[in-house]
Structure 1
Amino acid sequence: RLFITRKTASIHGIASCKRHRDPNAIQRVAREGLAKGISIKKCDIFQTCECCVEGKIARKPFPPITERQTTRVLDLVHTDICGPMNTVTSGGSRYFLTMIDDFSRYTTVYFLKRKSEAAEVIEEYVTMVHNRFGRNPIVIRSDQGGEYKSKRLGQFYRAKGIVPQFTAGYSPQQNGVAERKNRTLVEMARCMLIDAKLGYRFWAEAINAAVYLQNISSSRSIEKTPFELWYGKQPDYSNLHIFGCSAIVHVPAEKRSKLDPKGKKLIFVGYADNHKAFRFVDPTSNKITLSRDAKFIEMEDFEHAAINRSKKTNPQIVEYEFDDDFPFDDDSDFDDDVGDRLESEEEDSTDETLIEEELTDTDSSMCDSTNEDDGDDGHTLERAAEELTVRRSSRSTKGVPPQRFRETTGMVRIFLNERILITQEYCEPRTFEEAMSCPDRDLWKRAMEEEIKSLHENATWEIASLPKDRKAVGSKWVFKRKMDGDGKIVQYKARLVAKGFSQVYGADYDEVFAPVAKQTTFRTLLSIAARRKLIVKHVDVKSAYLYGDLAETIYMKQPTGFEIGSKNDVCLLKKSLYGLKQAGRVWNQTITEVLRSLGFHSSEADPCLFVKNKRDRWSFILLYVDDMLVACSEDREYEDIENTLKRHFKITTLGDVRNYLGIRIERGQNGEYLLDQASYIRRIAKRFGQEDARPSRIPMDPGYPKIQQKEEKPMPRNDDFQSLVGALLYVAVNTRPDIAISASILGRKVSNPCQADWTEAKRTLRYLNSTADLKLKLGEDGQLEAYVDADWAGDHQDRKSNSGFIFHLGGPISWSARKQQCVTLSSTEAEYVALAEACRELLWLQKLMKDVGEKTTGPIVIREDNQSCLAMLPAEGGCRRTKHIDTRYNFIRDLVNNNVIQVQYCPSERMIADALTKPLSKVKLVTCRKKLGLQSLQLEEE
């Protein structure tokens, strides 16, 4: 490729910037003066572009069918939808929709999650063109897809005086302009990705850039460029750059320290809404940056390289069709014949079909202020939290560089199952093809080979022909870089999973529930281990799900890249496999049987805690899917357990526990355990652009809950907010009770956040980043005790109260900060509700204490700071209470009378649960934080 000087360049250099447009079309632009900023030198080199051949090869064209008859813009608009794509984008889109003006051939593109969104974006398009031209389209031509014949769209057409024109059934030729346009855009995007050697996850950025380039290019069917016919002025080529080239992007002074580099190397992926800004992606984080200040590094020796290539034998071109392994679906949604028949009428063809893939793309610019940076998200784990989808479409409308494709900010994972993705800093491949195009392809290949070897050794399946009356479930590769507590990559893992979503209930599976260990159980186990001087080892079962025998007959497609036999051959599963709906349950039953054979029994409080007591020598095994913590008195006991596990499974012994579920674990001088998530906190701070932001000494502004009363305009997109809140929740439930109420309050806004919510979420993150070294200390001496508090009517919108409690056993083992389910009429009633919630947790904890052999003497002390609440407990009736409060009152009194609990008064200034009910000022927070069990030797309190 050639560095474009903006003055004179060879046809090959311009073609590279134009991303594989036909050289004849480019020459015509220069020859007839259809654009500014372009001059082409003569070049005697005949060069075949292998990327174009690879990306555009198609069948021979048929004769053109019709001639264009419109005489002005908006007389006729063609529209068509392309999709669904093989991979869903990070914003959830599976389709793109084009709107093509017949007269100018100017194209607007929208990205959709569902076809049903077509009506919404067509309405948006009509509004946009009416604002520009003062009139609506006369005719909109489409196929007979249900999305175009909806009741909503029909009513809209009638209201706007638009005539819908539908093609005859099974006659895509009648909508050939749109069919051909979609194919052309897909072809260009494919060629751009191949040539730039970018992962397929950037397909939507490539489509976006292709639309822009199409709009500023000439074709044989029109005399001027679409841009000029639409805007009345010539396009300017001087701002064109090679898609996928490197660029040094200026970092504003506000976002760097004095010694930091002034520029950062990013990858150019398109154009923003105006000529003054470009779109860049950081390949390490997938964060999109908008900036006008950049130095492009395009290959200046393009012509020299072209001459060298021309000396070689021109490669023989063999016509072929892409097979199913190529991630673009070539015949997914448009007709080859139609496109080829229009080839003499339309702009030059380029063939494409889209692949979909996760791209973490944000709107944030390096030119924004630090506190306004958006970030990306992207979460995917075997046991990751549930995804919250966000409905949105994106469009490319103007001939000036579009800032569309808001395929926004990573797949949103809100924390539900006490687990969220830990490896946000790295971009995991989403498909086999992308893994093979990564720089570390050899490591991924080795990981896949190890997985296949493991599957064969376990006799997971046998190859069989698929019966005619059965359907095979799909299979997919899932890739993951495994990291230690410091965020360093320690292993490349490739897992073959079944696409369990296609299983049929009653035929392919029945019961699916499988438990996982509670975080409270995890902290309790470490506390007891520290107090009893037990050793705690970490064991990982390799390919755990493969050890369970399947009761059902399930057929699965062979893994990509490792197919054998004929096309009809599939895998008849004999063992359980990741992805199957029943896989977790089958594995849990298998490991439970093995542990019972060792003399362990599952805890009544938590079925994932296995306990063994032999002559007062206690051993424990905590199971979180395939991760095990083994706690016992002596090395000999552990070796016996390890050897028995090795007889049944392939295990990895990780030694003393140092990292569990993304939590770093250290052991203090006195045997206590110190837990932190500093590495994870710094990664999410970097992901959301807050790593160098001004520190915050409080996680939330104490006045923020009152701001929620005000009507504020919702954020235009909330997936960034959801992703950040999910990350905050993960930290809050594991190691940081000091942000529990902040995460709880923010979590109530995930469906409709406003700018004030986003500001507070980033404040919480800045607080975490500045206090990342705080450690949760477990295992000191002390009896089980609790602190309970409530913030009456703390939610200023519905006036429900906030409850907070924390249980200590020589360190915090359980805490909660949540909104109450009912509205209370007084602070006393609010305290009763909070006290009842704490008592329910206490009853569960007592079961756990009994299971692990931890004796409690006398009633459990619960500290409460409401005098009226305490004064009413001994009273016998005489008080008017609503039913829901009365039941809680009697529940608590019953526990007091049975000597289960003893409620004691605690002055408000010493009530540490106060930090779990409302945002506190800095002085109060620091006092409560120490009593909550958080400490750091490095952190200096200010």
Structure 2
Amino acid sequence: MTSTRAVSPPVQVTVADDRTINVDTVGTLCLDTLVYLHNSKFTRRIYISNVYIVPGLSVTLLSLAKLIQAGNTVRFEDNLWTVTRGKRRCPVLQAFEHNGVYAVATPEHQFRTAVVHAFAAAVQHESLMQAHRRLGHLNYDDCRHLALGTAVTDVNIARGPAPGKCTACALAKATIAHAPSRRTTDTTAAAAVCHVDLSGLVAKSYHGSLYYMVAVWRGYVKVYGLKTKNDATARTNDFLRFIERQASVPVSEIKVIRTDGGTEFRNQDFRRLVGAEGVRHQHTTRYRSRQNGVAERAIRTLTEMAAAMMIEARLPHYLWEDALQHAAYIRNRVPKRGQSQSPHQHLFGSTPNLSKLPVFGQSMAVRTPEEVRRKHFRFYGRGAVGAFVGFNEDTKGYKVYVPGYGRPIKETTDVIVLDTLLYDEIVLDDDASPPPEGGGEDDHQADELVDEAAIALPSSNGRDPSRMRDVTAILRDTSLPKAVVDAANGTPALTDRRRSERISAREITTSFLCLAELIREPLNMVEARRSPQWEQWRQAITVEIAALKANNPFTLIDLPPGAHVLNNTVQFRLKTGPDGKIVQYKARVCARGDLQIYMVDYIETHAPVADLVCVRVFFVLAAKLQTTIRQGDVPAAHLKADVKETIYVRQVKEFEEPGQEHKVWELNKALYGLKQAGRQRNIEIDNYLRGYGLKPSNGDACLYHMLIGGGLLLVCLYVDDILVAHTDQEQVLRLMTGLSMSSRISCFAAVSNTIT
């Protein structure tokens, strides 16, 4: 009560039990009420005048008639009535029906209700948090619906306020905060941020770079190739100096440099750089590189552009850095969506001119400098064909990739732009005049080889990069003269040659490619199971394991405690005959030598293998001396050699010994894949050949020779194959018999095909 006054004479008041009480005091009541409006809760303070103070009455009673007479409006809704006042009908008091009586909502009433509900929950029902935990941390709403519905019984949840966040749920159900779909800073603040990011590791570029870095400011992108990540600080400094000297916008407009959290940016040198420049360094949180989304998007855009250009041009992969820089050159001169100026014009104030922009990879006739031509190419043409790979902003000219002699990338202005890409087609001139008289035998041989290579070159009907790579591989592997390689690469031929009389057979290349793709050698056991030839491969594995057991290279034992054990892998190979048909499906069980520990599983590993030049020398000598040649094969060659170390290898999965799946192999002899297997095998054969009287040559330890029976006995070793040659076939048979008995070399026969 805020104020009271006496009433004379006293007023008689009749209460519910028919008692009459004399009231002699009237006052003004200050009442705090709770009003619920639009799903929100408000507290109102109202003053009610002419309130009778009745001694002994434990509750306060309000008369609706008196409230209406005082100018208020009363509205009834379901179990609620609301008292409003004024033109806006603002609610000032609300009462809820309870047991036939309307009770005014007050803060004290709410507190008492919460206490009662909590007490009732403790006595009769479980709390919402208890139900949440008992039901496997089910969300609160589903817990309530479960208690109110009929899907289950005896789930009683007490009414009351919702509990706070569950700590266990917060830890177990933590999610990634979604990145904003729109910029969260205004345009002015965003224009002051320079975004820098690094990407790699990539195969080494022509310029020696393994990584590349992009710096983005106001839409302008600059690409830098990096040899190491530590170069990021220096390249960032170069970008700031570039903007300072070249841009019409002052570098002081850069207020923030934003990077990811990599150590190439979070180091002392980078902190010293940003400190000297007076800019802030912002970095992303861990594993949240999208916080630097501008740089991330620039990397993706440039990478996709460069990849598309490289695919179309079919240039070597080591030109990726030039493709990236050319992509950045183009993006800087193209306005973004919704803008009328390009980033280059906005930053430097000049309108770019793209009228002389060639297609990346477009053919260009490049003039050879006179000084170089006189020294190396005096009788060639004055130019060479190359491919456009971009502009150098530090040099006034084109960057042109010219395969062949000298440095492949040349910077020059002496070019003639052609209408095709460099590798659109490869055409060897068949209309040239015959070679001049007196030409040497080597020139004629090179001319014939060029004719043969022309058959394997791709046709001009399509652009298949795989075919182009196949041609390059053919030219490389066959060690043709440089004239042939230059001709295939598009450089001028060394000599004029006669018109080829051979039938053009460019379709043969495609046919061979199709045959090669019919059956593919699996790379691992998973691919073998998915292969249509799985039954053949499974049989090959069974045969291989049976061969292993026949040679007794291992013993099945329980793995000793603490012993180091190696895993195994299976290699698959198709063995073909001279006509290219499949002769045998072969599987080879190998130990995982990459898991061997030095000084535990092995010590020395070197094993000599005959060089291809040595093999060619063997055949040259055999042909010159008109000898008989026999080729021997060592079945399971490495399994014949003993091992000194104790090595344990697991059994092949799904091919274990029944009932002994838990056991491992203790190797008695070497196994394919071991680091020392080749060495041990070579030592055994070398000891026998030296004991026979053969001596290794000084040029190659795998080529043995011996004068016997009036002729030269030659032996060449190549892994598990051996070649024997002598003019007297009896000498060959004698050595073959000895090798068969000592090293179990078999399958001696005439040479059908070789690796050369």
TM-score when scaled to structure 1? 0.35
Structure (1/2) with the larger strand percentage: 2
Structure with the bigger RCO (C-alpha within 8 Å, sep 6+) is: 1
Question: What TM-score do the two structures reach when normalised by structure 2?
Answer: 0.43
Between Structure 1 and Structure 2, whose CA radius of gyration is higher? 2
